């Protein structure tokens, strides 16, 4: 008979969590449990499971925010019960969303004389789909007015993020993803005539291509579409997928012309939760003018009180991320965003230089001219290991670095990409570089004859 037997019915706060009954069993996986669990124990047990998730700050494969100020956490907690859709119940949250829309429209040089139109979303994916839908509706209306067939819409893109493939499939639009030829990393103006026609609802230009971090040349693409309108009579709008770049270029690359300054650009999306520095769960889409968002796509909802216009795929959505976005605008201002993005960019360029100096590495993107990131491949020789092995090896130090093939027609080129975000200091980057060097030295000495490291990376 053990003399220190714990009374399992004692749920008082004196009880050690790891001596509660809940801690003696594995957690439920398929059925809701019959009984209750003391909150401290439930919290601790779930939190312990989450230890296995790895450390988000060391995840250099993601573009998303992994560091926020304590004030952001406080505002998120304050806003936990605020539903974004309920603009009548939470008019000030709605007002804050509106302010963010105006701020972004201004940042991206939308015409001041027309009423600004845009909205928050769950992220860039939803924002991209709303932009794509507006294109599809506008195109269809025009075709029908001209008495022409409107049953075969297509959208022309470079190497796009998966959200555009979703848009195409979910909303029945053919996607014409221009393959990468030679050493191309993105869409080129000279591709457009071959892939666009009268059924093209729009061209997507990406400011910060997911695979490498480079910017597609929006102004040159716009100029080519202008020329095509003159030569062929095709009037094809551009949507800029500025998921990352929309929050970088306006601060540290002011000489790049990519936004509503170009008449061809009719809508832009960005992820608040990437370089917008807000916590996960917010994106933005802005149209050049009200005419660019067909009225038929807007729903007016009266069952929450009032009669509120909404354009969104979801209905209820948390308001905290939007409030946190506004906090960042207020907290950092132009000066602060510039300082944060410049620091990230400087660190990425420094890392690019260091990586370029390594004998087995060839840079694909060295951090100049695009988003704060680097992308590289192994040189052509047989090294006895692959980048997948290198990803696995640095994972031992907790670092997550993505390895994956470029899209068609460059699928034979496997690259690795490192994103430098807010919170990735020069010191952390140095520690990572040391680990990469150690990992490569180890792999050179211990070649991997039958590398089992498998691709399986999902871009976000
Ligand atoms: C991340 C990203 C997306 C998807 O954005 P989410 O906010 O994750 O939905 C779309 N396009 C590009 C270029 C991206 O980098």
Measured in angstroms, how far is the CA atom of residue 165 from the centroid of ligand 1?
12
How confident is residue 7, by pLDDT bands cut at 50, 70 and 90? low
Dist CA 153 CA 132 (whole Å): 11
Tell me which H or E stretch contains 418: strand 414-419
Our CA dihedral for 185, 189, 191, 195, rounded to 10 degrees, sits at 120
For residue 63, give the ligand 1 atom closest to its CA.
1
pLDDT tens sequence across 145-191: 999 999 999 999 999 999 999 999 999 999 999 999 999 999 999 99
Q: Is the pLDDT of residue 46 over 60?
A: yes
How confident is residue 21, by pLDDT bands cut at 50, 70 and 90? confident
Q: Flag the least confident range among 221-225, 248-252, 448-452.
A: 448-452
- Taken as a whole, the chain contains a residue count of 460
| CATH no. for 74-328 | 3.40.640.10
For residue 161, give the ligand 1 atom closest to its CA.
11
Hey, whose CA ends up nearest to atom 3 of ligand 1?
A: 124
For residue 207, give the ligand 1 atom closest to its CA.
13
Q: What is the pLDDT of residue 10?
A: 58
Question: Exposed e or buried b for every residue in 15-40, given b needs 16+ CB within 10 A?
Answer: beeeebbbbeeeeeeeeeeeeebbee
Q: How far is CA 436 from CA 358, 442, 445, in A?
A: 10, 10, 14
Measured in angstroms, how far is the CA atom of residue 42 from the centroid of ligand 1?
34
For residue 209, give the ligand 1 atom closest to its CA.
13
Q: What is the pLDDT of residue 87?
A: 84
Measured in angstroms, how far is the CA atom of residue 129 from the centroid of ligand 1?
11
How confident is residue 454, by pLDDT bands cut at 50, 70 and 90? low
Q: Is the pLDDT of residue 3 over 60?
A: no
Say which residue, 459 or 75, is predicted with more confidence: 75
| Contact by Cβ (8 Å): 416, 391 | yes
Measured in angstroms, how far is the CA atom of residue 358 from the centroid of ligand 1?
31
Q: Which residues contact 23 (CB under 8 A, 6 or more apart)?
A: 17, 41, 44, 45
Q: Is the pLDDT of residue 5 over 70?
A: no
Report the SS3 class of residue 119.
strand
Q: Which residues partner with 286 through β-bridges? A: 118, 268
Q: Is the pLDDT of residue 456 over 80?
A: no
Measured in angstroms, how far is the CA atom of residue 354 from the centroid of ligand 1?
28
Nearest to 305 by CA among 87, 22, 72: 87
What's phi and psi for 257, nearest 5 deg? -95, 115
| Mean pLDDT for the chain overall | 93
pLDDT tens sequence across 238-264: 999 999 999 999 999 999 999 999 999
pLDDT tens sequence across 92-114: 999 999 999 999 999 999 987 66
Q: Which residues partner with 301 through β-bridges? A: 308
On the question of a common fold for 1-53 and 74-328, the answer reads no
| Contact by Cβ (8 Å): 321, 277 | no
Q: What is the pLDDT of residue 403?
A: 95
β-sheet with 174-177: strand ranges across: 117-121, 283-287, 265-271, 238-241, 200-206, 154-157, 174-177
For residue 123, give the ligand 1 atom closest to its CA.
7
Q: Is the pLDDT of residue 143 over 70?
A: yes
For residue 128, give the ligand 1 atom closest to its CA.
10
pLDDT tens sequence across 371-385: 999 999 999 999 999
First vs last C-alpha separation in the chain: 55
Q: Give the fold, CATH level 3, of 335-445.
A: 3.90.1150
Q: What is the pLDDT of residue 305?
A: 66
Residue range 280-293: average pLDDT? Answer: 96
Domain boundaries defined on the chain? 1-53, 74-328, 335-445
What's phi and psi for 79, nearest 5 deg? -100, 10
Dist CA 19 CA 320 (whole Å): 36
Q: Give the fold, CATH level 3, of 1-53.
A: MYOD Basic-Helix-Loop-Helix Domain, subunit B (4.10.280)
Residues with CB under 6 A from ligand 1: 63, 123-125, 128, 161, 163, 206, 208, 210, 241, 243-244, 271, 283, 460
Q: What is the pLDDT of residue 191?
A: 96
Q: What is the pLDDT of residue 306?
A: 62
Nearest to 128 by CA among 240, 7, 5, 263: 240
**Burial label, 416 (beta-carbon count in 10 A; 0-12, 13-18, 19+):** buried
The H-assigned helical ranges of 30-123 are: 39-50, 70-78, 91-107
Q: Is the pLDDT of residue 63 over 60?
A: yes
Q: Could you give the percent of the chain with pLDDT greater than 70?
A: 93
pLDDT tens sequence across 390-436: 999 999 999 999 999 999 999 999 999 999 999 999 999 999 999 99
Hey, whose CA ends up nearest to atom 5 of ligand 1?
A: 124
DSSP letter at 419 equals E
How confident is residue 355, by pLDDT bands cut at 50, 70 and 90? very high
Measured in angstroms, how far is the CA atom of residue 80 from the centroid of ligand 1?
25
Measured in angstroms, how far is the CA atom of residue 62 from the centroid of ligand 1?
10
Rounded to the nearest 5 degrees, what angle is found at the Cα of 119, between the Cα atoms of 372 and 96? 90
pLDDT tens sequence across 316-345: 999 999 999 999 999 999 999 999 999 999
Q: From start to end of 323-420, where are the E strands? A: 361-365, 373-378, 402-405, 414-419
Structure tokens at 134: 């507006």
pTM of the full structure: 0.94
Tell me which H or E stretch contains 287: strand 283-287
For residue 206, give the ligand 1 atom closest to its CA.
13
Report the SS3 class of residue 127.
helix
Measured in angstroms, how far is the CA atom of residue 166 from the centroid of ligand 1?
12
Which of 163, 206, 209, 313 for a ligand 1 pocket mutation test, highest count of atoms within 8 Å of Cβ? 163
Structure tokens at 307: 């009669």
């Amino acid at each position: 008979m053990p003399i220190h037997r714990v009374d399992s019915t004692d749920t008082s706060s004196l009880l050690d969590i790891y001596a509660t009954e809940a801690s003696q069993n594995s957690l439920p996986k398929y059925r809701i449990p019959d009984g209750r669990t003391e909150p401290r124990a439930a919290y601790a047990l779930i939190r312990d499971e989450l230890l296995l998730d790895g450390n988000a700050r060391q995840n250099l494969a993601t573009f998303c925010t992994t560091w926020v100020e304590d004030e952001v956490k406080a505002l998120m907690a304050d806003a936990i019960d605020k539903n974004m859709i309920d603009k009548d119940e939470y008019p000030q949250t709605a007002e804050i969303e509106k302010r963010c829309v105006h701020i972004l429209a201004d940042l991206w040089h939308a015409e001041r004389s027309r009423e600004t139109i845009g909205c928050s979303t769950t992220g860039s994916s939803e924002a991209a789909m709303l932009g794509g839908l507006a294109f599809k509706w506008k195109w269809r209306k025009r075709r029908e007015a001209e008495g022409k067939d409107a049953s075969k819409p297509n959208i022309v893109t470079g190497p796009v993020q998966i959200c555009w493939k979703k848009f195409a499939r979910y909303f029945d639009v053919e996607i014409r993803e221009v393959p990468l030829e030679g050493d191309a990393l993105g869409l080129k103006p000279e591709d457009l005539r071959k892939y666009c026609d009268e059924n093209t609802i729009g061209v997507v230009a990406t400011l910060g291509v997911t695979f490498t971090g480079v910017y597609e040349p929006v102004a040159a693409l716009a100029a080519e579409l202008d020329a095509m309108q003159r030569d062929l009579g095709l009037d094809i709008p551009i949507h800029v997928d500025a998921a990352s770049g929309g929050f970088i270029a306006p601060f540290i690359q002011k000489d790049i012309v990519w936004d509503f300054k170009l008449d061809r650009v009719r809508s832009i999306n960005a992820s608040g939760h990437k370089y917008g520095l807000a916590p996960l769960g917010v994106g933005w889409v802005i149209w050049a003018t009200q005419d660019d968002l067909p009225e038929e796509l807007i729903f007016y909802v009266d069952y929450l009180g009032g009669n509120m216009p909404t354009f969104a795929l979801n209905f209820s959505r948390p308001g905290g991320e939007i409030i946190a976005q506004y906090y960042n605008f207020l907290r950092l201002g132009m000066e602060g965003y510039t300082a944060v993005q410049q620091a990230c960019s400087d660190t990425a360029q420094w890392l690019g230089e260091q990586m370029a100096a390594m004998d087995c590495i060839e840079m694909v993107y060295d951090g100049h001219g695009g988003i704060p990131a680097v992308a590289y491949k192994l040189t052509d020789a047989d090294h006895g290991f692959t980048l997948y092995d290198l990803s696995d090896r640095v994972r031992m130090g907790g670092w997550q670095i993505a390895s994956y093939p470029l899209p068609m027609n460059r699928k034979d080129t496997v690259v690795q990409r490192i994103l430098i975000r807010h919170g990735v200091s020069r010191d952390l980057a140095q520690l990572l570089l040391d680990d990469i060097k150690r990992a490569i030295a180890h792999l050179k000495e211990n070649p991997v004859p039958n590398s089992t490291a498998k691709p399986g990376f999902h871009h976000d």
